C-alpha cells in the first residue's frame, strides 16, 4: 500500500485531526501500551471521539474507531463522512483493524479514513480501498 503524506489544508480537517490526537489521552491501554484515538465526523458536521479500551481478559478489548462510532450511534447519528485515527507511531500510519473496517462498513460503503501521525501529518484512504468486495447490510436484503 502506498501512503501519500498530507497536512490539514482546511479548518474542518484540522479540527478532526486535532480531536483524534487528543482522544489518545483517554486511551486505557495498560497491556499493549499502544494508545489510539479516533474522531468521526457526521454528514451534518458533528464530531464524536473514541479511544481504545483494553481488558485484563484481552478479548473484550475495543478499538478507538469502534468506540467513536458507538458514541455517535448512541447519540443518534449514523451517517458519516470521515474518520481520523491516531496513534503514537511516529513514522507509520495507523491503519484500522479488520474488525473495525467491517464495523465502519455497517454505516458507510466509502467512508474516508485519515491515518494520523503525532505531528498531525496524515495519509488518506477510504473503505472501498481497505475493504474491497465487502459484505454489507444490503446483502441481507437480497432474494434468498
- Enumerate the active-site residues: 65
- Mark the segment that binds Zn ion (CB under 5 A) among 17-25, 43-51, 62-70, 133-141: 62-70
**Interface of this chain with Zn ion, residues 83 to 102, rule: CB under 5 A:** 97, 100
Contact 16, 47 (CB under 8 A): yes
C-beta of 12 vs 73, nearer to Zn ion: 73
Q: Smallest gap, in angstroms, from Cβ of residue 96 to ligand DUR?
A: 5
Which residues contribute to the site for ligand DUR (CB under 6 A)? 29, 32, 34, 36, 52, 54, 61, 63-65, 85, 94, 96-97, 100
Q: How far is the CB of 142 from ligand DUR (least distance, A)?
A: 30
Nearer to ligand DUR by Cβ, of 47 and 84: the residue is 84
Beta-carbon contacts of residue 85 (< 8 Å; ≥ 6 apart): 20, 36, 37, 38, 64, 65, 94, 95, 96, 113, 114, 115, 116
Q: Which residues of this chain interact with Zn ion, rule CB under 5 A? A: 63, 97, 100
Amino acid at each position: 500500500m502506498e501512503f501519500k503524506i498530507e497536512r490539514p489544508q482546511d479548518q474542518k480537517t484540522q479540527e478532526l485531526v486535532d480531536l483524534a490526537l487528543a482522544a489518545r489521552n483517554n486511551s486505557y491501554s495498560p497491556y499493549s501500551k499502544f494508545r489510539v484515538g479516533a474522531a468521526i465526523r457526521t454528514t451534518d458536521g458533528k464530531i464524536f471521539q473514541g479511544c481504545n479500551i483494553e481488558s485484563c481478559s484481552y478479548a473484550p478489548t475495543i478499538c478507538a474507531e469502534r468506540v467513536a462510532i458507538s458514541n455517535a450511534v448512541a447519540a443518534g447519528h449514523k451517517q458519516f463522512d470521515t474518520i481520523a485515527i491516531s496513534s503514537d507511531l511516529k513514522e507509520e500510519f495507523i491503519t484500522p483493524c479488520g474488525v473495525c473496517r467491517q464495523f465502519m462498513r455497517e454505516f458507510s460503503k466509502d467512508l474516508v479514513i485519515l491515518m494520523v501521525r503525532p505531528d498531525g501529518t496524515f495519509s488518506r484512504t477510504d473503505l472501498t480501498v481497505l475493504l474491497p468486495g465487502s459484505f454489507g447490510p444490503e446483502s441481507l436484503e437480497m432474494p434468498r
